[in-house]
A and B are shown apart, each in its own frame.
Chain A
Amino acid sequence: MKPDALPLIHTFWPLLLIGVGAFASLITSVWGSVRSFRVTGLLAFGIFLGAAYGFATLDPVAHSLAGGILRADGLGYFLSFLICLIGAVTVVFSFNYWENLSEPVQEVLPLILFAALGMVLMVLTTHLLTLVLALELMSLSLYVLVGSRRADPKSSEAAIKYFLLGSVAAAFLLFGISFLYGATGQMDLSLMGQQALSPDKALLFQVGVLLLLIGFAFKVAAVPFHFWAPDVYEGSPAPVTGFMAAGVKVAAFGAWLRLLHVLVSWEFLELRTLLVILSLLTMFVGNLAALRQRSLKRIMAYSSVAHAGYLLLGLATLVEGAVFLEAGMGVILFYLGTYGLLTLGVFAMLTLFSSKGKEISKLDDLKGLGYTNPVFAAALTVFLISLAGIPPTAGFVAKYFLFARAIETGLIWPAILGILTSAVSLYYYLGPVVQMYFHDPVGEKSMPAATLGMKVLVSFLVLGAFYLGLFPGKYLTWSNGIRLEASRSTPILSGMPQTRP
């Protein structure tokens, strides 16, 4: 056995579990029957839960394997944990969405696993090449997932658009990495951080950083790299959109955090200014463009853009001169978790509305739902107002901490502008609510039956939205305890670390 093999299994067994599971699910799904879909679904669900458990209990040793190709630390484990939960939720969605079709799209579940594998790998590496590989694994799986409603031209359009633009972004990313390699001679971020940069390479390095950031800005749908989002969100099947919206954001922001952690040491990059500008643009365009939308999915796309803006503001708060304020990460991690929860909540509803392969997301379709399906309408309302940041829900707490952090670190005006755009967002988040409660139902629309798992899941999500809103303390303390170094981190489930911001 290789000397690295043991720590590989010790510190990364959940990652391996997902990988093995992805291949296993490929085999179980091959028969193409409803039964094999069910077996695969159970398998995938179990794998996600197992991996989530693993990431939650593993001790973050801050240990790098094979020159940073894999890195085990608090941040990576926490984000991986989130991704696994998102994956598990997506599996439940998929059950509700595809299982009652006569011929389920078999590839969906393995692809979700592969995409999750990419995401997890993305947050568990400090090596740029692994990063690109992980990103591509995630992206390629997602392209196919987006286009998985083959009968619908919109789905294919979305897939093609996502693919084309994604390739452009990937090209930028690779180009940027080659620049960085050219400037520093390093591929591993942790080594790159220790590198002295010769002044004549500064411009090369800077352009490389820009290209790299653009690559990730595309993934999180930051303006002006967000144009794919509305079309792709609209075209892809609801469970996939939810997975994409929540999972990709977690993974990409994980990568942002790792990059920032290293890049701040070069002050001339002025990352803080760059991030603030990007963040303001993103907040404004995301929130404003959402105002005119008539489709819940497009609203969610712009909402995702807007939230990326808030998160970018959160990233900006981490940069203080040449110092990376590690303690501030907790706020961003909390926001990511909350955003994931709420977005999944909305897409849970969309999944419920659009079973049997028919996508329903027009606002007009929601008319009178408050009277025909009071429970689902209430749940959707909870998620939407929480996304808008209204207490006592999780969204409020997340936004509150984020903006409070921004003000603390001196980003007062961006924070004020952010809060203003957040107020604007109330308009489009309440739009569906108005449709549901202030309009009479049109025609006889029966909601497709929800599976038991879906019902349980939605209850959990609603409870979560309130729980995090009312009692954020414990989880905030967890996320605040997440570090990139081992000495200050403890496993997520082992209780509260004593460090506080």
Chain B
Amino acid sequence: MQLSGILLWPLLGAILNGTFALVGAKRKRPVPRLWVNIFGVGLPILALAWSVSAGLPFIFAEPEPLRENLFSWMTVGNFRVDGGLLLDQISVLMILIVTGVGSLIHLYSTGYMKDDPAYAKYFAYLNLFLTSMLILVLGDNLLMMFLGWEGVGLCSYLLIGFWFEDPAKAAAGKKAFVVNRIGDFGFLIGIFWVISLLMPHVGDQASPLNFEFMQQNAGLLAGSATLITAFFFIGAMGKSAQIPLYVWLPDAMAGPTPVSALIHAATMVTAGIYMIARLSFLFDLAPQTLQFVAVIGMVTAFFAATIALVQNDIKKVLAYSTVSQLGYMFLAMGIGSYSTGMFHLMTHAFFKACLFLGAGSVIHAMHHEQDIRHMGGLRRFMPVTAWTFVIATLAISGIPPFAGFFSKDEILWETFHRGHTILGVLGVLTALLTSFYMWRLTFLTFFGKCRASSEAQEHVHESPFSMTSVLILLATLSAVGGFLGVPHILGGHHYLRDWLGLGQHPAQDAHADRLEMMLMALSVGGALLSATTAYLFYLKKPQWPRRLAASFQGIYRLWLNKYYVDEVYDATVVQPVKRSSESFFYGLIDRLLIDGVLINGSGRFLAFMGSLVSRLQGGRVNAYAFYFLLALTGMIVWVVVR
């Protein structure tokens, strides 16, 4: 109950709020918000409390992993899967992030969604998301993980399309769902592969998908580890928005902003990272896959950062920033430094949630205006939002001592130290870009002159306490979260890394220290430089960027239009699929072959057979009795003649 409680509380919340939503719809009068608040926010907070109480022993001691069996899922012959939960260091970190950030965002939503007519429905979805995410990180086997994986995907779809009256938003939800299916397909193939390899070796009670069982028998998987992990990584590409499957995440910003913060920044999109960390024993056996993961991660990070440079939608910038930061995490995973990836996952959860919620606060205040060209100088109207946003920007751009500095620096250092120089250089470059686009965003939104219409300016107001308090808390976490992994040269200690105990880490020697020092100087210096450039560009000399854009027309348009990836996909994948569906699959196969021959043909054939059979059913008892006799005679003849 200690573990299951964590995910049962939000589930209860989802059920209750779902009921409220239904009752409200039936009575044409929504259930009072207070009720929804009590259960929709109270239960996640309860889950947080349970997570803390379950996690504390892990933080202060090193107990055995906690296991709990919720139910026996299926037993087919030797194949057995349980609905089991497992709590160890990795999942402790994850549940604390999920329930912690999750509760905060629930709280924030009470302010943000206050006037939405579908208030209860929103909280039902959000609670359900929390449940699924907790299943994902607590499941003790691949199938439970997949259950959570699909669950969060479903909730993501529901929440992106939450305002489904707008066709564009509904389409964004659909896009997210479809793109994710491609990834899920890879994940499933990986699962099947594992089953097929491990099935012959399971004993009476073991499940081939159980993580601990897999780890003990990792040797059996070694032969195919490269391909298996590659398929798992395809799953991660979809869920964690990596090239080439990242396209859904920017569109996913159609959902309410707290959803973007929770699902599409802090938790769900990090599921791929978590998966690799959880299966690190398997990825360790597949160096080629790891290499691939690192390259994809780094390329995505750089690529997304360039797009973020020129976007004008406040949420789009943050979305591409998320894609970019996820790329960093995959880079860390790919070079085999799993705990560093998890560290960045955590700090990113704090500052990106803070940024998104800050953006939400702005959007809320500006009545759903999202274009930063129409903002500026907002810090006068909403100081709390502005300053928390600045703190989070400091964190993401890697300025010490804020959280992002430590985690990003650790990634860069490990990359160089393990000899991936090209990736490292790209990493540093991306860090500079990150700093630039984030400061651009901050300056354009909160500083300088206000470019909104005077009418709009009158309505701008600071958000209610329920929202600002969350911002303050998250800003605090973004400020101090990095101290869990202060490098040795700064007199600190990698608490998180030692505690997680994942993978191998290079030794700390004089050469490494020098390298690390140099990198720190480089990245901090670079970040400051970028920030200064942004300051000049967007506050002091606003004509510069315009001139720059004019002289580099080509690359500017390319970035502004996101490298035309959506268009390329549309032309190479979507349209061909559509056309071939229409002409070939629909016209020929579906209409003619399936509908014409198989469906209607077989239907007619079966109906004909049916009419033959029912002709015997004349309703006359004596005929029936005669058939009896006939059958009996036939049988006896068969017996005698044979």
Residues of chain A having any CB pair with chain B under 8 Å: 160-161, 164-165, 168-169, 172, 203, 206-207, 210-211, 214, 218, 224-225, 227-228, 230-231, 274, 285, 288-292, 424, 427, 470-474, 476-477, 500-501
Q: Which residues of A contact B617 (CB under 8 A)?
A: 227, 230, 289
Q: Smallest Cβ distance from A467 to chain B, in angstroms? A: 10
B216 close to A (CB within 8 Å): no
**A292 contacts B607, C-beta separation under 8 Å:** yes
Taking CB atoms and an 8 Å cut-off, the chain B residues in 73-119 that contact chain A are 73-75, 77
**B632 contacts A172, C-beta separation under 8 Å:** yes
B609 close to A (CB within 8 Å): yes
**A210 contacts B73, C-beta separation under 8 Å:** no
**A427 contacts B74, C-beta separation under 8 Å:** no
B72 close to A (CB within 8 Å): yes
Q: Which residues of B contact A172 (CB under 8 A)?
A: 628, 632
User: If the complex has contacts A207-B639, A214-B631, are A473 and B75 also in contact, measured as CB distance less than 8 A?
Assistant: yes
User: If the complex has contacts A471-B72, A473-B75, are A161 and B621 also in contact, measured as CB distance less than 8 A?
Assistant: yes
**B632 contacts A164, C-beta separation under 8 Å:** no
**B603 contacts A292, C-beta separation under 8 Å:** no
Q: How far is the CA of A501 from the CA of B614 in the complex (A)?
A: 40
**A427 contacts B616, C-beta separation under 8 Å:** no
User: If the complex has contacts A161-B621, A288-B613, are A203 and B640 also in contact, measured as CB distance less than 8 A?
Assistant: yes
Q: Smallest Cβ distance from B598 to chain A, in angstroms? A: 11
Closest to B82 in A: A473
Closest to B642 in A: A270
B635 close to A (CB within 8 Å): yes
**A164 contacts B628, C-beta separation under 8 Å:** no
Q: Which residues of B contact A291 (CB under 8 A)?
A: 606-607, 610
Residue of B611, B613, B627, B632 most packed against chain A (CB within 10 A): B613
**B621 contacts A292, C-beta separation under 8 Å:** no
Q: How far is the CA of A224 from the CA of B624 in the complex (A)?
A: 9
Closest to B72 in A: A473
Q: How far is the CA of A253 from the CA of B167 in the complex (A)?
A: 56
Chain B interfacial residues counted at CB < 8 A: 32
B34 close to A (CB within 8 Å): no
B636 close to A (CB within 8 Å): yes
Q: Smallest Cβ distance from A169 to chain B, in angstroms? A: 8
Q: Which residues of A contact B72 (CB under 8 A)?
A: 471, 473-474
Q: How far is the CA of A186 from the CA of B614 in the complex (A)?
A: 41
Q: Which residues of B contact A164 (CB under 8 A)?
A: 621, 625
**B628 contacts A290, C-beta separation under 8 Å:** no
Q: Smallest Cβ distance from B71 to chain A, in angstroms? A: 6
Q: Smallest Cβ distance from A104 to chain B, in angstroms? A: 30
Q: How far is the CA of A203 from the CA of B628 in the complex (A)?
A: 20
**A165 contacts B606, C-beta separation under 8 Å:** no
Query: Which secondary structure dominates where chain A touches chain B?
Result: helix
Q: Which residues of A contact B200 (CB under 8 A)?
A: none
Q: Smallest Cβ distance from A183 to chain B, in angstroms? A: 14
**B606 contacts A424, C-beta separation under 8 Å:** yes
Q: Smallest Cβ distance from A436 to chain B, in angstroms? A: 20
What are 22 contact pairs spanning A and B, CB under 8 A? A160-B621, A161-B624, A165-B621, A165-B625, A168-B625, A168-B628, A172-B628, A210-B635, A214-B631, A214-B635, A224-B631, A225-B631, A228-B624, A274-B635, A288-B613, A292-B607, A292-B614, A471-B71, A471-B74, A472-B74, A473-B72, A477-B75
CB-contact partner of B639 in A165, A210, A288, under 8 A: A210
Q: Which residues of A contact B619 (CB under 8 A)?
A: 231
Q: Which residues of B contact A477 (CB under 8 A)?
A: 75
CB-contact partner of B77 in A160, A211, A289, A501, under 8 A: A501
**A224 contacts B610, C-beta separation under 8 Å:** no
Q: Which residues of A contact B74 (CB under 8 A)?
A: 471-473
Closest to B635 in A: A210
**A289 contacts B628, C-beta separation under 8 Å:** no
Q: Which residues of A contact B621 (CB under 8 A)?
A: 160-161, 164-165
Q: Which residues of A contact B610 (CB under 8 A)?
A: 288-292
Closest to B640 in A: A203
Q: Which residues of B contact A501 (CB under 8 A)?
A: 77
**A224 contacts B639, C-beta separation under 8 Å:** no
Q: Smallest Cβ distance from A151 to chain B, in angstroms? A: 21
Q: Ordered nearest first, which 9 A-B pairs have the shortest CB separation?
A: A227-B624, A291-B610, A473-B75, A289-B613, A224-B631, A292-B610, A288-B610, A288-B609, A473-B72
Taking CB atoms and an 8 Å cut-off, the chain B residues in 583-642 that contact chain A are 603, 606-607, 609-614, 616-617, 619, 621, 623-625, 627-628, 630-632, 635-636, 639-640
**B77 contacts A210, C-beta separation under 8 Å:** no
**A207 contacts B636, C-beta separation under 8 Å:** yes
**B616 contacts A227, C-beta separation under 8 Å:** yes
Q: How far is the CA of A424 from the CA of B610 in the complex (A)?
A: 11
Q: How far is the CA of A224 from the CA of B631 in the complex (A)?
A: 7
Other 17 A-B pairs with CB < 8 A, given A165-B628, A292-B614:
A161-B621, A169-B628, A172-B628, A210-B632, A214-B628, A214-B635, A225-B631, A227-B616, A231-B619, A274-B635, A289-B614, A289-B617, A291-B606, A292-B607, A292-B610, A424-B606, A473-B74
Q: Which residues of A contact B611 (CB under 8 A)?
A: 292
Q: How far is the CA of A498 from the CA of B633 in the complex (A)?
A: 46
Q: Smallest Cβ distance from A217 to chain B, in angstroms? A: 9
Q: Smallest Cβ distance from A420 to chain B, in angstroms? A: 10
Q: Smallest Cβ distance from A263 to chain B, in angstroms? A: 14
Q: Smallest Cβ distance from B603 to chain A, in angstroms? A: 7
Closest to B612 in A: A288
Q: How far is the CA of A366 from the CA of B635 in the complex (A)?
A: 42
Q: Which residues of B contact A274 (CB under 8 A)?
A: 635
Q: Smallest Cβ distance from A216 to chain B, in angstroms? A: 13
Q: Which residues of B contact A290 (CB under 8 A)?
A: 610
Q: Smallest Cβ distance from A271 to chain B, in angstroms? A: 12
Q: Smallest Cβ distance from A363 to chain B, in angstroms? A: 15
Q: How far is the CA of A476 from the CA of B636 in the complex (A)?
A: 38
Q: Which residues of B contact A230 (CB under 8 A)?
A: 617
Q: How far is the CA of A211 from the CA of B633 in the complex (A)?
A: 10
User: If the complex has contacts A165-B624, A227-B624, A285-B613, are A473 and B73 also in contact, measured as CB distance less than 8 A?
Assistant: yes
Q: How far is the CA of A168 from the CA of B629 in the complex (A)?
A: 10
Q: How far is the CA of A391 from the CA of B372 in the complex (A)?
A: 49
Q: How far is the CA of A230 from the CA of B606 in the complex (A)?
A: 19
Q: Smallest Cβ distance from B141 to chain A, in angstroms? A: 15
Closest to A225 in B: B628
Closest to B607 in A: A291
Closest to A231 in B: B619
Q: How far is the CA of A383 from the CA of B628 in the complex (A)?
A: 32
**B606 contacts A427, C-beta separation under 8 Å:** yes
Q: How far is the CA of A427 from the CA of B599 in the complex (A)?
A: 11
Residue of B77, B606, B610, B627 most packed against chain A (CB within 10 A): B610
Q: Which residues of B contact A218 (CB under 8 A)?
A: 628
Q: How far is the CA of A469 from the CA of B577 in the complex (A)?
A: 36
Q: How far is the CA of A290 from the CA of B639 in the complex (A)?
A: 31
Q: How far is the CA of A474 from the CA of B80 in the complex (A)?
A: 12
Q: Which residues of A contact B606 (CB under 8 A)?
A: 288, 291, 424, 427
Q: Which residues of A contact B625 (CB under 8 A)?
A: 164-165, 168
CB-contact partner of B628 in A210, A224, A470, under 8 A: A224
Q: Which residues of A contact B624 (CB under 8 A)?
A: 161, 165, 227-228
Task: Mark contacts of B549-581 with chain A using CB atoms, 8 A cut-off: 1 yes-contact digit, 0 otherwise.
Answer: 000000000000000000000000000000000
**A211 contacts B71, C-beta separation under 8 Å:** no
**B609 contacts A210, C-beta separation under 8 Å:** no
Q: How far is the CA of A470 from the CA of B74 in the complex (A)?
A: 8
Q: How far is the CA of A230 from the CA of B619 in the complex (A)?
A: 9
Q: Smallest Cβ distance from B139 to chain A, in angstroms? A: 16
Q: Smallest Cβ distance from B517 to chain A, in angstroms? A: 57
Q: How far is the CA of A218 from the CA of B623 in the complex (A)?
A: 15
Q: Smallest Cβ distance from B631 to chain A, in angstroms? A: 4
Q: How far is the CA of A206 from the CA of B639 in the complex (A)?
A: 8
Closest to A168 in B: B625
CB-contact partner of A471 in B73, B616, B635, under 8 A: B73
Closest to A222 in B: B631
Q: Which residues of B contact A285 (CB under 8 A)?
A: 613
Q: How far is the CA of A285 from the CA of B611 in the complex (A)?
A: 11
